[in-house]
Amino acid sequence: MSNLSPLGYRIRMALIQIRQVSRGRVTSVPPHVYFVVSAIFHNLGPAFAVLLFARIDVLGVAWLRIASAALVFAVWRRPWRGFLAIDRRGRSLIVALGAVLALMNVCFYISIDRLPLATVGAIEFVGPITLAVIAARVPRNVAAVVAAAAGVLLLTHARAVGDPLGVAFAFANAALFALYIILAHRVSRRSAVGDIDGLAAAMLFALIFVTPIGFAGAVRAFSDPVAIAAGIGVGVASSVIPYVLDQLAMARLPRSTYALFLALLPATATIMGVIVLRQIPSVSDLIGIGLVMLGVGVHKSDHSRADVRSTPPGASPVPRAHPTVVAQTR
């Protein structure tokens, strides 16, 4: 207190009290509420992006989404500090993660321009379930793959003929999503960057990689304030809000519970598609989405060892969800 005036001391104490009250309010909210809200925004952002396609080129929307998210994360986290502090291998991982983020978002937006949001959202989980089988070859994972494969077949058998390019980009998005999971997990194990700062740094590189692909399509939006605001909203709704809420939920939910909640994501994609885009699924679509949800809910990830390795010395182990929860990917 000797270095502070009485007024400065009172201001400092007031800020401490406000911070304590804020933390108390955060912990008083049930963790499943955070997940539900995150799941809504996870698919609300892409749904609004589809509406934005009428004003901006698809690749331009992908650029705006990554650019706005990168800007928010840069101001919030200043990720270059952690990036410069890690070794060459770690920096290479983050650059690779940025490239995957850029290509994954491009494939995702092209696919939802051609296919229903619920279909793309369900196909997306083929990658994570396949990784689960590779990591832990147990009967429940085999059953998960069978259920998910049957569901995807129902969702795509007719559309593969009507729009093969859309289906191809949806599967490319799923493959890139699996690669994202692998890279994001490796980045998260490096304490110098961690989950948030690692993602923030990767998002900056994603902006570099996506600029040659989508910047030209976004140029026309620069003279349209409504389109610019909508593009920023898509980026914040798709990345920033879900990620923060995911972190709040992960810190207080057991892995098994969170993994089960992931099965709700295809359902929220269906609901957002109906409400926002008027995409009414057929009976076979609903059965297919249900089978994918069953596969997501049944599959079991083998990450116990990785969690122990990634826990900082002296810190209490925190239940960590599979990296698929990083909703900021899209």
DSSP of 109-176, one letter per residue?
A: HHHHHHS-HHHHHHHTTHHHHHHHHHH---HHHHHHHHHHHHHHHHHHTTHHHH-HHHHHHHHHHHHH
Structure token digits, residue 317: 């182990």
Per-residue pLDDT, averaged over 160-174, amounts to 89
pLDDT of 89 over the 60 cut: yes
Exposure b/e, 127-137, CB count within 10 A at least 16 = b: bbbbbbbebee
Q: Which of the 8 DSSP states describes residue 192?
A: T
Average pLDDT over residues 157-184: 87
Name which residue leads in pLDDT, 295 or 191.
295
Enter the pTM of the model.
0.79
| Cβ neighbours for 189, distance < 8 A, ≥ 6 positions apart | 306, 309, 310
256/240 Cα distance (integer angstroms): 24
The H or E element that residue 85 is part of is: helix 80-85
More confident of the two residues 235 and 313 = 235
Confidence of residue 81 (pLDDT cuts 50, 70, 90): confident
Q: How confident is the model at residue 309, as a pLDDT? A: 36
169 in Cβ contact with 107 (< 8 Å) = yes
The answer, yes or no, to whether residue 178 has pLDDT greater than 80, is yes
Among candidate residues 103, 276, 81, 284, the one with its CA nearest the CA of residue 192: 81
Paired tokens of 38 = 């995150």
The reported pLDDT for the residue numbered 301 is 59
Question: In the structure, what pLDDT confidence band is assigned to residue 192 with cuts at 50, 70 and 90?
Answer: low
User: Residue 310: what pLDDT?
Assistant: 38
Q: Are 127 and 174 in contact (CB under 8 A)?
A: yes
Lowest mean pLDDT among 56-65, 70-79, 308-317: 308-317
pLDDT classification of 311: cutoffs 50, 70, 90? very low
